[in-house]
Chains A and B, each alone.
Chain A
């Protein structure tokens, strides 16, 4: 049987930018506008059946990749049925970054997306409750962005140490 990444590529063609595999870990990189379609298919397609969204996070490649590819949202999916897994990456552009929420596909993505919003400021369109999850509402900016000043402190009490 063809590798999972090849199956995804065959099915979605242009929506898949590239794929690679390293030490048995398969990765597909897909276009942002195809997220919902690809994810839903990967959950429901009998040969995929990724019923477990294990992890959702993001990476800031500021200064390493071009502005249209500044962020990558990274999904790790696992199939309890087939015992296989795949990594999906989605490039997100620099200016007011946003992407479709996958909460409608996997409910468990809810808090992960809130965390990515909190730390990277990537907005998830269609998320039912997109607000900060770890930091406080008064916090300004998104601290895991590479351009967050490394010494900037925003205490709720006490001096600006």
Chain B
């Protein structure tokens, strides 16, 4: 708060003809309203994602409506639906292909923790293989929860320091090369 008060006082002293801020803040402000999504959709949660993205709930209000179907053009990896062990290397590959800065949005109980599938086939939460920024549980989460998550992610992005980037590749390499 202190810095902001000082900024305001200075701006007032200069007759409110200049705006003082920090570079990180301006960049964060710009980023948080222009998310390009990469929807990695595998299961039933995808239905709720469609609802969120469609006109009734309208993800576009948050500047996050444009799905990119190339990870190289996207900033948020929306992981939506059960991730099986067979798919996990593909998910990591997609993550590694995205340009920094990039964020990971865990959409639904399956992505957060494996959900109800504690068995041979399912990754027990994608945070075992990727850094996750926002967890939205629910089976599936309601659109309101997704927005709440998105707004929290916007706050996080607003307050980020540029020193956080680049975050680098995911921690794991696939055990088998294909």
Contacts and interface: CB of A to CB of B under 8 A. Distances in A.
A158 B121 contact: no
Contacts of A143: 119-121
A158 B120 contact: no
Interface residues of B, number: 18
Interface stretch (B57-65, B82-90, B145-153): B82-90
A161 B114 CA distance: 11
Contacts of A157: 85, 88-89, 92, 129, 172-175
A135 B86 contact: yes
Contact of B123 (A134, A138, A152, A155): A155
Contact of B89 (A153, A156, A161): A156
B97 to A, nearest CB: 15
Contact of A158 (B88, B119, B176): B88
A141 B85 CA distance: 15
Contact of A148 (B120, B123, B124, B172): B120
Interface string A121-140: 00000000000001110100
17 contacts: A136-B86, A143-B120, A148-B120, A152-B120, A153-B85, A153-B120, A155-B123, A155-B175, A156-B85, A156-B89, A156-B175, A157-B92, A157-B129, A157-B173, A157-B175, A158-B128, A161-B124
B interface, over-half SS = loop
B112 to A, nearest CB: 13
A154 B173 contact: no
Contacts, number: 49
Interface in A13-57: none
A155 B121 contact: no
A159 B173 CA distance: 11
A156 B174 contact: yes
A152 to B, nearest CB: 6
A154 B86 contact: no
Contacts of B119: 143, 150
Interface string B128-140: 1100000000000
Q: Which of A143, A155, A158 has the largest number of chain B CB atoms within 10 A?
A: A158
A135 B125 CA distance: 19
A32 B137 CA distance: 48
Interface string B100-115: 0000000000000000
A158 B129 contact: yes
A32 B102 CA distance: 57
A64 to B, nearest CB: 21
Nearest to A138: B176
